[in-house]
Structure 1
Amino acid sequence: MTAVPDGTVDPAGGGADPLAEERIRRIHETYAGPLSGFLSRLTMGDRALAEDLLQETLLRAWRNLDALPQDVEKVGAWLYTVARNVAIDAARARRARPPEVNLPDLTRLPARGDAVDRMVTVQAVRQGLARLSPEHRAVLVELYFRGSSTAEAAARLGIPEGTVKSRAYYGVRSLHAVLGSMESS
């Protein structure tokens, strides 16, 4: 891509072609609205993602403008196919990345020597644990309060190690959510 003197960007690297710009403008005017709705349905209503996918679709149209039919009305099938493929690629890319994990804000934890804050925290954790399912609570108590290893917790609870790990993961997430909701109340 290169910038041309009028400030527009030409992905092909050559000078700005007024006919090409007019064609892409007409394609945009004709298909941006319908494609946006189509992509919004494909993204389950995620408007921001649909807009990103629309932009990528129209960018690909700009890059392949010479290969597209001259009649703007005949470009629709190609655009919808590209939009669908862009949406599929985006979904695959999201599945390939591990989910983001929100870590607690360590600046909000009480200082070591503050007995009152420590007491409040202990009380909040107890109340939060009471709101968890018995299975999640039992695993968290074994691992974090009794200091058991995964194997020891599995043996004590009579469940496989993988189940201990899974329940610990989801238990901590649930506890974090419960504590967050208690804090905002």
Structure 2
Amino acid sequence: MRQDNRADDSFLRDLYAAYHGSLLRYVMKVGGIDSQAAEDLVQETFLRAWRHSATLRESAGRVRPWLLRVARNLVIDASRARNARPVETHCQPVDAAGVTDSAEQVVEARCLAFALAELSPVHREILVHLHCLDRSIGDTARSMGIPLGTVKSRNHYALRELRRALTRHGIH
């Protein structure tokens, strides 16, 4: 048994030395693949030769055609495997910090709309002028035709009522 293993190892070293270069060029040419992929297929070819070394030693004249046939079959199998899978793309990973989840904002906006609808029209109008349209107290007073103090007072009470309504709707 040990003698057979030594003979197999010696036989495989001789095969490798004699056929590695030409087999590698053949696989690259037939497969149209890079040297690393071709080297993998050549290694698999020699692994199969090692498994069948007893048979190959007996038919010394037919070793090269056997190696070429095995290599060609491996190239075909590799090509079929590549074609059976979807094409691999190399995309950059999505930056999780760049993607915002707007679901919470939508819920808050809906709650704010319901809370605003509960306010009196006068309070709602003051809040819209001051906080939605971003007008100053003076501009709001002029556009509504009321004194500055009234705008300030209505804003104070409108904000207090809005906070209560938002709390009822679950926004703190």
The answer to whether 1:58 aligns with 2:42 is no
TM-score, L = length of structure 1: 0.48
How many correspondences in the alignment?
100
Identity over aligned pairs, percent: 35
Structure 2 spans left out of the alignment, 5+ residues:
102-172
Q: CA contact under 8 A between 1:43 and 1:87: conserved in structure 2?
A: yes
Q: CA deviation at 1:82?
A: 0.6
Larger radius of gyration: 2
Q: TM-score of the superposition, structure 2-length normalised?
A: 0.51
Contact 1:53–1:87 at 8 Å: present in 2 too? yes
4+ long deviations beyond 4 Å: none
The structure that is helix-richer by fraction is: 2
Extract unaligned runs of 5+ from structure 1. 1-13, 114-185
- Say whether residues 1:94 and 2:82 are aligned partners: yes
Matches within 5 A, 1:1-12: none
State the Cα RMSD in Å. 2.4
Contact kept, 8 Å, 1:53 with 1:83, in 2: the verdict is yes
User: Is the alpha carbon distance of 1:109 and 1:100 closer, same or farther for their aligned partners in structure 2, counting shifts above 3 Å?
Assistant: farther
Secondary structure in structure 2 of the residue aligned to 1:17:
helix
Name the residue aligned to 1:130.
Answer: none
Q: 1:40 is aligned with what amino acid?
A: M
Assess if the C-alpha contact under 8 Å between 1:23 and 1:72 holds in 2: no
- The residue type equivalent to 2:6 in the other structure is P
**One of 62, 65, 71 as aligned partner of 1:77:** 65
